[in-house]
Structure 1
Amino acid sequence: MKHLTAPVLIMLLLMISCTNNQKENLTSPEKSSYLDYSGSDDQITGGIKMIPVETAIGTFNVYTKRMGNNPKIRVLLLHGGPGGTHEEFGNFDGFLPKEEIEYIYYDQLDSYYSDKPNDSTLWTTEHFVEEVEQVRKALQLNKDNFYLLGQSWGGILAMEYALKYQENLKGLIVSNMVASAPSYTKYANEVLGPQMDPDVLKEIMDMEANHDFDNPRYSELLMNHYYTEHILRMPLEKWPKSVNLLFEHLNPNIYVYMQGHSEFGMTGNATLKDWDVSGRLSEIKVPTLMLGAKYDTMDPTYMEWMASEVQNGRSVTTNGSHLSQFDDPETYFSGLIKFIKDVDAGEFK
């Protein structure tokens, strides 16, 4: 065998080195820290923290669960109801982890997974705003990473929080909630109600007039003729388990007290029936996303208008209904993820 010349030898060594590097890259990919809970104070609980909240009648614990780890993007989820649960966000697990967005489930006081003092003196927007603020501090969320997403009643709470504490926020997301309870009631009665079968609507309205809300027929009519059109546009037998758990775990006491019995807006003695911050939206300066839906119980045109009222807003309208994360997840999550990433990159317009 002839001796190899110096240039040939160098070339062979380089080829061997490149091959080894390629093998190393294939066998040792760079690991993401997104799912690394090592050394965190919630590792042993799988991200769950029961956070003490001080109230006028004592200190109680609320449930939170952190999903993922991204110190730059942390989304606190405010569920609806009032008296609902974090289970309404059950399919967020299917969309946000691949984007490495950290999100935090949270059951408000008197909701299923949290303490239940069952004291109506705490069932006010003022209390719940301060509760969110205490949760924020406990989780060390701040203006550099804190996104607040509220859906339905959670949207009311998110707007109220922003109007008082927006200096703590990096971004605000209002999902499926208008800024005026009277406007919500008007839309339900003047637009959505007349779309129903007149005989069905009359039967529902007669039972409401007689306060016959516990009648199984009332729930049956609503579920089959209203909920499957405007709450979640799927046959009832195909509703996801997390949505069924949301309804199973709903606290009716706080729900009726604040929202009322009727699904056609807020009526009777509901404490939220006159709630309206439409005239204050212009005070909100932080980047804001309004997530509406074509078939929602909330007027999608009104939600588009809300995005023009805040100082730095964007609107996305899905083809879904009130739980549009389930019946139009493609539009819902693509809009949500783009908003968060645009804000994070300083490219939000």
Structure 2
Amino acid sequence: MASVKVVEGEADFPVLTAGKPCRTWYRVYGDLRSGTLPLVVLHGGPGATHEYVENISQLTYHYGIPVVVYDQLGNGLSTHLPETIGRTEFWTEQLFIDELHNLLNHLGIHGNYALLGQSWGGMLASAFAVQQPEGLKKLIIADSPASMQLWMEATAQLRLQLPQSVQETLNKHEAEGTITDEAYQRATQVFYEHFLCRKVPMPDPLKNSFAWIEKDPTVYMTMNGPNEFLIMGSLKTWNITDELHKISATTLLINGRYDEAQDSVVEPFFQRIPKVKWVQSAESAHCPHLEETERFMEVVGKFLLPVY
């Protein structure tokens, strides 16, 4: 494996309504000036961190593709704003689009780059792409919904595949409003083991990202809700289906066979983005980059570097 330069830093991100200075933490693998199209990775959540997608930096080691990972505002090593929990007018899609533009400018790659968004990161990446930013050359949407309504319908069906006792526990506590109960949390973990990540125990990077959400739930609780299938936040009505035809970048679509983002959830991307390819990971749930890492890297590497 080749030696790779790794640099990390912070980009000042002025947000007038934040009430304090904000910064975006990032890490760069490889040389952004190498002439090879750099890849910027957008993590999920919203409210998770770079840690569970950091292994995508293997693309640098194996294919020489510069990779940027970062923590979105409110998460991980970037500025936290716990005082804004519940402020849906602050935590918006546009805030994160503005942050991404700011980071690209800070890194000096705004004129030439690729994006990979995983889960919420793919929602953000698609919303960014429909605005047709000039420098976006290639787009990868991994395990993401085109519509949260489709996501909720799919996860409701997936719940029916769980053991009956688990279903009953989830239903009981949701009806009674006791979703912080330990039994409900254990039942939620069973869902995750089936449809979030099929590696048991959960890989440490994913576990660490969940720990960050627990430490500061501001973004996750405001925009999403208490878990992956009970969506109560501002994203509940999110739907980009009617805008997907505006995406001009060549796009790769990825999901797993057992993914929370079932085929019905991602199909609008395939039907409506003009230049798109769809690849499914046969043994994965929501995290093919962690569950079938070697194949994931090969698929993405070939997409970014057709000849290598």
TM-score, scaled to structure 1? 0.80
Aligned match of 2:15: 55
2:96 is equivalent to residue 128 of structure 1? yes
Alignment of 1:104-123 (within 5 A): 104-118=68-82, 119=84, 120=87, 121-123=89-91
Aligned match of 1:317: 280
**Structure 2 counterpart of 1:151, from 118, 137, 140:** 118
Aligned match of 2:255: 292
SS in 2 for 1:170: strand
CA contact (8 A) 1:108 1:114 kept: yes
CA contact (8 A) 2:120 2:144 kept: yes
Alignment of 1:260-339 (within 5 A): 260-266=225-231, 268=232, 270-319=233-282, 320-339=284-303
CA contact (8 A) 1:289 1:315 kept: yes
**Structure 1 vs Structure 2: percent identity of aligned residues?**
24
- Closer, same or farther: CA 323–202 of 1 in aligned 2, 3 Å: same
CA distance in 2, matches of 1:87, 1:282: 32
CA contact (8 A) 2:256 2:288 kept: yes
Number of positions where the alignment pairs a residue of Structure 1 with one of Structure 2: 296
2:105 is equivalent to residue 137 of structure 1? yes
2:215 is equivalent to residue 255 of structure 1? no
- Cα displacement (A) at 1:265: 4.7
- Cα displacement (A) at 1:210: 2.2
- Cα displacement (A) at 1:307: 2.2
- Closer, same or farther: CA 94–74 of 1 in aligned 2, 3 Å: closer
**Counterpart residue type for residue 124 of structure 1:** T
TM-score, scaled to structure 2? 0.90
Aligned match of 1:166: 133
Greater relative contact order: 1 or 2 (C-alpha under 8 angstroms, separation 6 or more)? 2
**Counterpart residue type for residue 273 of structure 2:** V
Aligned match of 1:66: 28
- Cα displacement (A) at 1:95: 4.6
- Closer, same or farther: CA 288–326 of 1 in aligned 2, 3 Å: same
Aligned match of 1:99: 63
Unpaired runs of 5+ residues, structure 1, are: 1-31, 38-45
CA contact (8 A) 1:208 1:262 kept: no
CA contact (8 A) 1:288 1:307 kept: no
CA contact (8 A) 1:289 1:307 kept: no
CA distance in 2, matches of 1:204, 1:341: 45
CA contact (8 A) 1:77 1:106 kept: yes
CA distance in 1, matches of 2:194, 2:204: 19
CA distance in 1, matches of 2:119, 2:273: 18
**Counterpart residue type for residue 186 of structure 1:** E
SS in 2 for 1:150: strand
> Highest Rg: 1 or 2?
1
Q: Quote the RMSD (CA, aligned, Å).
A: 1.9
